[in-house]
Amino acid sequence: MATEVTLPQLGESVTEGTVTGWLVSVGDRVEADQPLFELSSDKIDTEVPAPASGVVTDIKVDVDETVEVGTVVAMIGDEVEHKAAGAGGAAAQPGADQPSPASGQAVSQPPAAEPTPAAPAQRGEPGPTSQPPPSPAPGQTAGSDGHSAPPLASPLVRRIAAEKGIDPLTVTGSGEGGRVTRADIEAAATAPATPQAPPGEAGEAPPTGGRSPAPVGAGQREHTEGLSRIRQRIASKMMESLQSSAQLTTVQDVDVTSLMETRARIAQTFKDHEGVSLSPFAFLCRAAVIAVRQHPKINAVADWEAGTVTYRDYVNLGIAVDTEKGLIVPNVKGADDLSLAGMARAIRQVADKARGAAQLEMDDIQGGTFTMTNTGSVGVLADTPILNYPEVAVLGTGAIRKRPAVVEVDGSDAIAVRHVMYLSLTYDHRLVDGADAARFVSDVKHLAETTDWDAEIGY
């Protein structure tokens, strides 16, 4: 009994997907849950597993073809069915006389002419000698004409290799049949670079055509490459956000000295207990989700056509993660119910998934209600983040710097060195007024500065 392989439902708002690479061929034996093909939607790239064990009897969708959810893309049968199907075509063997489609008569092929040896290029030079074809390089196979065939790697793996500047032909594949896997590319990316011979040394081939690329300007060069799918999706989502909402940003400074002192004091103990590091970002996420409870508009979503607004009594906290592929925003479900320790673990988990340490699933990036982005991790003081539409607010956290500040000591003003940072709240001004935004970000400031974080952690 054959099993249909259909394009799976990846999420409520996803109606189609693009097959970006097949990991099997017709005739391959597969096991249930073995990855069959790579699928790209407007939200996520993922591998689709086999629904049953058997033999791939048919592949109905080509690479880079976009089809609707539920479309049959392949068939899996048992080995008996596959052998029976193959028996019908066994009569056509290489080298046998084949009937002409028009007459049905056998047509014999004339013998191939003997190759004529190439004449020596110059009198006195030896003629060509018979040499075996070169062995294929790691990651490639030899074609029937003796040339190298394309590397045994899926389109997704080749795309990752291109982003990392790695030629798959130079990588030895560890996958089935010598296939180059993502792990092989990651390993090659971290391996020490092999010294290259300087241009002009013996043994180095000249540039194509024997000339260097024509300069664009004085001493300048340029090259063109295709945009990755994820970069195109990011561009589309950013434009959709800007065109679909009235965005405004408000900024507030925060004295996080107490927070940083607590972190420094318990950092190692926390890591020993929880298995993850305690970052300042985790403290700020915890303060933000507490404040969201008191500001329902910040966590709401509006349907402007219907004239309605929906208020949520839960917070699914989006975490903007910088990956080699681009920006990905998975979210922590029920973030307002998590302790500081739970928040730190959850942030680490979704960040690891986004960066490929584990499989990122559609549920990880759907259903967010409020987002935070930590641009301070790369030293930025403040920015104006773009909404993760249709959410109505996103909070950016800037870099923490030591600054001189006026503090009150025993009723008198004094100058002290404090840890200070900026919070940048971008909000949809159609639903959230400036005063609403100011009150919210000021409450986050107050919580970050005054919470008893030692009591929050509990050890």
**Is the model more confident about 252 or about 102?**
252
pLDDT tens-digit series, residues 40-71: 876 677 788 899 999 999 999 988 888 888 99
**Is the model more confident about 67 or about 443?**
443
The verdict on residue 377 lying in a domain is yes
User: Does residue 433 carry a catalytic annotation?
Assistant: yes
CB 318 within 8 A of CB 333: no
CB 341 within 8 A of CB 274: yes
Of the residues 429, 436, 446, 452, only one is catalytic, namely 429
What per-residue confidence (pLDDT) applies to 217? 64
Question: Which residue among 62, 84, 106 closes a domain?
Answer: 84
The verdict on residue 27 lying in a domain is yes
Q: Is 20 helix (H, G, I), strand (E, B) or coil?
A: strand
Question: Which residue among 23, 54, 84 closes a domain?
Answer: 84
Please, what is the end-to-end C-alpha distance for the chain in angstroms?
Answer: 60
**Is the model more confident about 133 or about 224?**
224
Q: Is the pLDDT of residue 313 over 90?
A: yes
The verdict on residue 404 lying in a domain is yes
Of the residues 433, 436, 443, 446, only one is catalytic, namely 433
Look up the CATH number of the domain holding residue 332: 3.30.559.10
| Residue range of the domain that includes 18 | 3-84
pLDDT tens-digit series, residues 183-211: 788 788 877 655 554 544 444 444 444 45
Question: Which residue among 14, 49, 84 closes a domain?
Answer: 84
Helix axes 280-293, 340-354, angle to 10 degrees: 110
Nearest CA among 362, 245, 298 for reference residue 237: 245
**Is the model more confident about 189 or about 395?**
395
CB 189 within 8 A of CB 166: yes
The C-alpha atoms of residue 114 and residue 215 are separated, in whole angstroms, by 47
pLDDT tens-digit series, residues 10-33: 766 677 888 888 999 999 999 998
DSSP secondary structure code for residue 340 in this structure: H
49, β-bridge pairs: 35
The total domain count for the chain is 2
Q: Provide the pLDDT confidence category of residue 107 given band limits of 50, 70 and 90.
A: very low
Q: Which of 168-172, 357-361, 407-411 comes out lowest in average pLDDT? A: 357-361
pLDDT exceeding 70 applies to what percent of the chain?
A: 75
The verdict on residue 360 lying in a domain is yes
Question: What Rg do the C-alpha atoms of the chain give, in angstroms?
Answer: 30
The verdict on residue 262 lying in a domain is yes
The C-alpha atoms of residue 20 and residue 64 are separated, in whole angstroms, by 5
The verdict on residue 125 lying in a domain is no
Look up the CATH number of the domain holding residue 41: 2.40.50.100
Nearest CA among 441, 443, 334 for reference residue 396: 441
User: Does residue 429 carry a catalytic annotation?
Assistant: yes
The verdict on residue 91 lying in a domain is no
Nearest CA among 276, 277, 364 for reference residue 328: 364
Q: Which of 103-117, 178-192, 320-334, 390-404 comes out lowest in average pLDDT? A: 103-117
The verdict on residue 205 lying in a domain is no
Strands 370-373 and 393-397, sheet pairing:
parallel
What per-residue confidence (pLDDT) applies to 193? 59
Model pTM above 0.75: no
Which amino acid, residue 139? Answer: G
Nearest CA among 289, 278, 338 for reference residue 448: 289
